[in-house]
Amino acid sequence: MISIHHNGYQIRLIDAGPEDKLVFRNLIQLYQYDMSEFKGADPDRHGLFDYSDLDHYWTRHGREAEGRQAILIKIDEAVAGFAFLNNLALSVPRDDTTRHLAEFFIMRRWRRRHLGKVIVKELFDTYPGVWEVREERENRNAQLFWRNVIQEYTGGGFKEQEFDEHAWKGPVQSFDNRGRL
């Protein structure tokens, strides 16, 4: 667990175990609803959004071969969001130091307080390696957020590529923070 104090808030980043899966399953509904604006996804006939990779964050193969890690974010003891990390990068070689920020979600209550930026920078510092962050082509707000955070974090030492492939359509930023820490 990582604990951060910022502007009077206590932020905790917790490496989630299988016992936390239900919390993630519930948060995924909020996240997928937010993302449906850009992905055009609809819920199933039960009103639920699917996230087929969720269980893989707690399988042996997911953890060991794909570097999957589920981080639960709490602010002042309230569940506030999550981050999913893995090594399934598109723009950088895949090895033990590859870090792909697959998903990042902060609940609306906690947005626009610079907490997301603080949390992301702490994740970057905690897991040194070659990082990749992707945004949906249509999600301009996410693109602005990530470019700003990564620019500030790296001092401009990052690369951005535009992907237009089956696997991904949109901007992808990458950087190596191993020499920074």
Digitized pLDDT (tens) for each residue of the chain, 181 residues in all = 899 999 999 999 999 999 999 999 999 999 989 887 777 788 888 988 888 899 999 999 999 999 999 999 999 999 999 999 999 999 999 988 999 999 999 999 988 888 999 999 999 999 999 999 999 999 999 999 999 999 999 999 999 999 998 889 999 999 999 986 5
* Contact indicator for 116, 145 with CB cutoff of 8 Å: yes
Q: In what order do the strands lie in the sheet with 78-86?
A: 2-6, 9-15, 69-75, 78-86, 98-106, 130-134, 169-176, 159-164
Give CA–CA dist 81/24, Å, rounded. 9
Instruction: Look at residues 119, 117, 36, 129 and name the one whose alpha carbon lies nearest to residue 87.
Output: 129
* Contact indicator for 174, 131 with CB cutoff of 8 Å: yes
Give CA–CA dist 139/96, Å, rounded. 30
The confidence score (pLDDT) of residue 48 equals: 85
Task: Tell me the CATH class for 2-176.
Answer: alpha beta
Give CA–CA dist 139/36, Å, rounded. 11
The confidence score (pLDDT) of residue 181 equals: 54
